[in-house]
Amino acid sequence: MEEHQHKAEMSFSGDEASSVVKECVDVILGGVDYDESRVNEWMSAVVEQSLSLLVKMEKAFKYIVTCTVMQKRGGGLHTASSSFWDNSTDGSCTVRWENRTMYCVVNVFAVAIHL
C-alpha cells in the first residue's frame, strides 16, 4: 500500500497541473482584449505564475512551461512536441484558453527528479 502511494506521489497529474494553469490564465487574461503591446507581459506572467504554483505543490519534478498567445484573426496555428522520458512518472499537459479576441495555449512538461 505504501509503495502504491509513493508511486502516485511521484507520477505527474495532468489534471492538477491543468487546473493550476487555467486559474493563472483566467486571472491574467480574463476580461482583457488582445493588445500586441502587452502580449510579452501577459505571456511572462502566465509562465511565471504557473511555474510558481506548480513548484509550491512540492512534488519532485522539474517543470518546463511554454505559452503562446495569438490574436483571433482567422489564421491557423499548428504545434507539435515530442519527448523521451519515463511514462510512469513524467508527463505533460496542454491548456487551451480563448476569449473573443485571442487564443492562449500553455504547455507544461514535468520530468521527475529521482532522489
Q: Which residues of the chain have pLDDT under 70?
A: 1-9
The average confidence (pLDDT) of the chain is 91
Query: What pLDDT, on a 0 to 100 scale, did the predictor assign at position 43?
Result: 98
Domain count, the chain: 1
- List the domain range (segments joined by +) for residue 20: 2-112
Residue 37: which CATH number? 3.30.1140.40
C-alpha cell at 38: 502587452
**27 CB neighbour count, 10 Å cutoff:** 12
pLDDT in tens, 46-64: 999 999 999 999 999 999 9
In contact, 96 and 69? CB cutoff 8 Å: no
pTM of the model: 0.89
Confidence at residue 99, expressed as pLDDT on a 0 to 100 scale: 96
Q: Hunting for cell 512534488 — which residue is that?
A: 59
Query: In angstroms, rounded to a whole number, what is the distance separating the alpha carbons of residues 22 and 69?
Result: 14
* pLDDT for res 10: 74
